[in-house]
Chains A and B, each alone.
Chain A
């Protein structure tokens, strides 16, 4: 299972990287979202899969999956959400102000 997920994560990274390298601003946002999914899956996999029940005490089970990666991912998801939201609004603004979303045309100031 871990091997399969590792390959899936690699695939998500590939797709994300390809999108990030493209010229269109919205594709780049899509790319970062996909990469963050890949990262979350990676963290979860690294903690080990199917080692026990959900990390809730009081269950009959005695073995639990590792709760620490889950806590880390939870933090990551929220932060990623915040960043994506800001990025989205920023790109919306950029598009409004400059009238383009082509990264090649969004190049610095003339006096640089």
Chain B
């Protein structure tokens, strides 16, 4: 029982390994989902036991070493916040698996893939919310991205699925990597990987210069995962996933990972104006953006996706508002702001219940009619009465109407916003008035799309000719999971304080440790005639009017230019980047040897020349120089002439002979400078090389006149002169900066040590004989290479070509 939490994290992974075997054994007799359902159910039951412990304000901490030398341990930590998430993941997970048993056909679908991905995701989510170690948290974070990618592209034959999966992958991984750097900064500041230890070092973190970068990077991760503006674009495209997945990942769990992260780190970053404004500002923008866009959707799932975006924005903005509580420390103002945190957690729970059930109902409609298009649906009320009831419950809860739980959290949202205006912090005085107006407008739009969802689908005229199947009520098994969620929706409305006492208070303690006593809280459905209630009445009145005249004003959406949408921007920038890199690569990777050599030589000139120049290495006059005699002078002159002869000759014979002359002059040079062995070798080698050149003479290509533009030759000339200059300067610099004496005195003992009087030979075969051996190897390889090249030619490959 000691490592029960860790066991919960790894149970889904263990089952993910077992699932394919179970599938092989029992498919298609038994639906694989029945086995899988055991996992979330058992975790849910296990977690339920912790509720009394956690609501007493205790926490549970378990740790096993993973990479102890680096201080990375798999640490599970359970407090009010992770308990809420754990219960949501396992509870909704169980219902979704149950639903998927009826939704996914066991004959047609590759169920083993489906459930393996889903279990992976579930385990990753448990790991994410239970981990206390930030690196382990990151590992699970990326695992949710990957498993979500796999699930979105579950029907990989469809182009849209692949597009949606790629998009969500790119965006969430981008955010994940940003988050990783934020987490690393955080661990640098606090010198710990554990969140609880970081929390005890908060004062160090807040004073550090890395505070702001770490905050922004961390928020990038949270915002991309939770589909906040402007990273929300992946969520509507993720609706290509099977509906159980949309219900589970893209409404109840994964998109709340960002919320979890923000809540978890509020205690670290909260209390600063940057955090307050970024989180609540982005949340409010997302709230409005999502709700306005949702009204214009024709696909029910897309509508729900935008509504999810909007609701996530609401939760995020509440978290942002609530973080001001830390600024006030302990006191009445602090408690007032802490209510916003409670509201956010409350709405988080409520949203998971009603959004999960709505997705399932939409899935039922899709399953039973074959379409999700609002324009084709209508008049389903009498045909699908249970689905209709469930939709009403879910939608009205989402719209914030009594007697559903959404009403309570919507009221609390208004309360928090109004108190934030009354007790301004961080310059709220200036913008304070806009916030309730924005929230109110968003609520009106929320109301409108909720009405669209209910009335456009279920009332009006039934159009059986437009839909593929004969509409009928779904099987009972498919209706049970959304029904359970709907019961919760109503149940929470009537008994909100059960949730408040058991979940919200401990969560508040976890998010804001300063409120370790909790705040006296009773959620009441009826709270008198106050501003919040009038706001809600206004929403209903105004929303109803706008819904009635929907056709009149939705034309406004057509005026919005398509080129300004975020999706267009995303596609453009993706294509643009591809085109850019393609063009740039094509520009410099010409495929011509000469161009690459120009780069190499150019860099050599710049780096070597630059280094010489910067380090003041350029010297001209050496003091310790040997004199110049007439022989040497003539020899040097002759070498220059033969060098230029090679360069300028028009025929290859002249060039080869000039090169030979240069070689012989070099050996003469060796003679003068007292290197007899070198002179000998150079003579022989030069003779053989010249002979080789002459042997090949008739077969060698003719020396053509270089036909190229002046500019081309000029670049070559500049580069070559540059290379020559740099080499000369380098040689001069080396000559004039001799730092240590040579070690060659040692080799003068060659007779006593090696029994040789020729020092050079002694070095070659005795002191440094290894070099010589490999040099022989080089010769062997070259010989073999030459032989093979010539033989292969005779073998007839040429004739074929």
Taken residue by residue from 48 to 72, chain A's Cβ proximity to chain B (1 for < 8 Å, 0 otherwise) reads as: 1111111111100000111110110
B782 is contacted by which of A2, A41, A85 (Cβ under 8 Å)? A85
- Residues in B whose Cβ lies below 8 Å from that of A74: 677-678, 681, 760, 764
Contact yes or no, B681 A10, CB < 8 A: no
Taken residue by residue from 657 to 684, chain B's Cβ proximity to chain A (1 for < 8 Å, 0 otherwise) reads as: 0010011001001100111111001100
CA A14 – CA B621 in complex, angstroms? 22
Interface hits, A1-36 → B, CB 8 Å: 1-27, 30, 33-34
CA A82 – CA B774 in complex, angstroms? 12
Contact yes or no, B732 A41, CB < 8 A: no
Question: Within 8 Å of chain A (Cβ to Cβ): is B422?
Answer: no
**Known contacts A30-B659, A42-B727, A46-B734; is A93 also within 8 Å of B676 by CB?**
no
Contact yes or no, B732 A6, CB < 8 A: yes
Question: Within 8 Å of chain A (Cβ to Cβ): is B743?
Answer: yes
Contact yes or no, A3 B768, CB < 8 A: no
Question: Within 8 Å of chain A (Cβ to Cβ): is B723?
Answer: yes
**Known contacts A25-B701, A26-B700, A71-B768; is A84 also within 8 Å of B622 by CB?**
no
**Known contacts A3-B732, A79-B775; is A56 also within 8 Å of B759 by CB?**
yes
Contact yes or no, A90 B789, CB < 8 A: yes
> At the interface with chain A, which of B188-196, B245-253, B533-541, B712-720?
B712-720
**Known contacts A6-B732, A34-B659; is A103 also within 8 Å of B593 by CB?**
yes
**Known contacts A21-B720, A65-B673; is A57 also within 8 Å of B628 by CB?**
no
- Residues in A whose Cβ lies below 8 Å from that of B30: none
CA A54 – CA B728 in complex, angstroms? 26
Give chain B's interface secondary structure class.
Answer: helix
> At the interface with chain A, which of B268-276, B320-328, B638-646?
B638-646
**Known contacts A10-B727, A96-B798; is A17 also within 8 Å of B719 by CB?**
yes
B731 is contacted by which of A9, A70, A91, A108 (Cβ under 8 Å)? A9
Number of A-B contacts (CB under 8 A): 270
**Known contacts A18-B647, A81-B685; is A2 also within 8 Å of B748 by CB?**
no
Question: Within 8 Å of chain A (Cβ to Cβ): is B139?
Answer: no
The tally of residues in B whose CB lies under 8 Å from a CB in A reads 97
Taken residue by residue from 355 to 393, chain B's Cβ proximity to chain A (1 for < 8 Å, 0 otherwise) reads as: 000000000000000000000000000000000000000
Measured CB to CB, the closest approach of chain A to B255, in angstroms, equals 43
**Known contacts A41-B669, A77-B678; is A24 also within 8 Å of B703 by CB?**
yes
Contact yes or no, B758 A55, CB < 8 A: yes
Measured CB to CB, the closest approach of chain B to A104, in angstroms, equals 6
Contact yes or no, A82 B742, CB < 8 A: no
CA A3 – CA B94 in complex, angstroms? 85
Measured CB to CB, the closest approach of chain B to A43, in angstroms, equals 10
Question: Within 8 Å of chain A (Cβ to Cβ): is B795?
Answer: no
Question: Within 8 Å of chain A (Cβ to Cβ): is B620?
Answer: yes
A22 is contacted by which of B601, B706, B751, B758 (Cβ under 8 Å)? B706
Contact yes or no, B666 A40, CB < 8 A: yes
Q: Which residue of B lies closest to A40 (CB)?
A: B666
Q: Which residue of B lies closest to A54 (CB)?
A: B674
Interface hits, B770-789 → A, CB 8 Å: 771-772, 775, 778-779, 781-783, 785-786, 789
Interface pairs A-B: 8 shortest CB-CB: A14-B724, A10-B728, A82-B782, A101-B701, A6-B731, A17-B720, A18-B720, A55-B759
